[in-house]
Amino acid sequence: MRQIYRRVLQIAFAWLFCFVAATAIAQNPPIDNYGALVGDAQIEEWLGRESRLDHPVIGGLETQDAEQLHFYFERNYAQRAQAVIRTAHDARQKSLRFLPPEAVENIHIYLLGDINRYFREQGSQGGAPEWAAGLTILRDGVILIKLVPRGTSRIEPEMTLAHELNHVALRRIARDAYFPHWFYEGLAMTTTDDWNINRAEVLARASMAGKLFDLDGIDDAFGKIGATVELAYAESAHFVSWLAKENGDESIKKLIEQTANGQPFDAAFSDIYGRSPRAAFALWHDQMSRDRSLFANVFSPEGIFFIISVFAAIALTIALIRRTSARKQRLAAMAREDSLETLPENLRNFGPFTHSNKK
């Protein structure tokens, strides 16, 4: 009996722990690897110089080449930097899904504890926002990645490397051609499979509440903080991924090629997909709203509580059934008359068994 009660309590406490943890995650989602892009006009304002640089622009850094990429890092972050450099091959291969090899080489990558050191060393008046895990200076082909000691942050510089490489490669193909910011971010996240439950829930909840950004609103949201930028990244990633899924990777490659060759982005998009970007976005919105509403309900705190409650009820029911079964077995054993032959000889004429031995 005590074992059964102990088991029921263990199950109840286990599910209570799961509920508290899941609710905490839902209310305090994991840190995502957001990066920032610095355009030509911004870098001119900050640094006021030509795009040609002699690397490294920071003195005293360690240097290492890998996969036709040039890495620079601080000595006290050497171990963490090496962990990132070892992922260079995989990061580069991911970018080749939509972009040619020559676009993903001779890129200068700074792995720093504080990425704004890159700007301070050059006397810049500007720098990366605090939330940025990485920053890409498109014109210069420079990537800055924030490093932290292991175990002190959920930022994943390896994922940031693959993401930012895609930005540089797309800019090299595009040259002076214009690609919207949502396409830059959506392509990078699609390429690196940068998707998680947090982004899915952010997207689903915004859709159910009727608060999704339109395409112009997505671009305006980048550079902000909190839920605004989270939704901008989530929409960009899901929309571009949807385009690739519905029409194939070749459609994305053609869009990049035609835009890079001088055709305006919207016109190239309409030629390839048979509708304008806004019309395609509206179609995506309708499909996504139907597919994601259930997901949002299930992974909301209320949905998680409901699921846990169901499992707890099932566990309690099983425990009660086992308890009842064990009780019935004990009662049946008590009611069963034991054969006289099974008793020791000295007990056959003792107490309650005396009558059984009478002839």
pLDDT score for 30: 39
pLDDT, tens digit, 9 for 90 and up, residues 217-257: 898 888 677 788 889 999 999 999 999 999 999 999 999 99
Compare 253 and 11 and report the one with higher pLDDT: 253
| Residue 134 pLDDT > 70 | yes
Contact 123, 1 (CB under 8 A): no
* Range from 68-77, 119-128, 191-200 that averages highest in pLDDT: 68-77
* Range from 78-82, 120-124, 310-314 that averages highest in pLDDT: 78-82
Structure tokens belonging to residue 59: 């003195």
Query: Which residues does 76 contact at the CB level (< 8 Å), separation at least 6?
Result: 113
How much of the chain, in percent, has pLDDT values that exceed 90?
41
Contact 110, 206 (CB under 8 A): no
Contact 165, 139 (CB under 8 A): no
Interior angle at CA 39, CA 114 and CA 90, nearest 5: 60
**Which residue blocks in the chain are alpha helix, DSSP H?**
2-27, 40-47, 78-85, 88-95, 117-120, 157-174, 181-191, 197-208, 215-221, 227-247, 249-260, 265-273, 277-298, 301-335
Contact 170, 187 (CB under 8 A): yes
Peptide bond into 129 cis (omega under 30): no
Short-list 145, 165, 126, CA closest to 43: 126
pLDDT score for 51: 52
Taking the C-alpha atoms of residue 141 and residue 43, their distance in angstroms, rounded to an integer, is 12
Structure tokens belonging to residue 31: 């840190």
Cα radius of gyration (the chain): 31
* Range from 132-136, 325-329, 350-354 that averages highest in pLDDT: 132-136
Taking the C-alpha atoms of residue 81 and residue 145, their distance in angstroms, rounded to an integer, is 10
pLDDT score for 273: 97
Compare 205 and 38 and report the one with higher pLDDT: 205
Q: Averaged over 163-175, what is the pLDDT?
A: 92
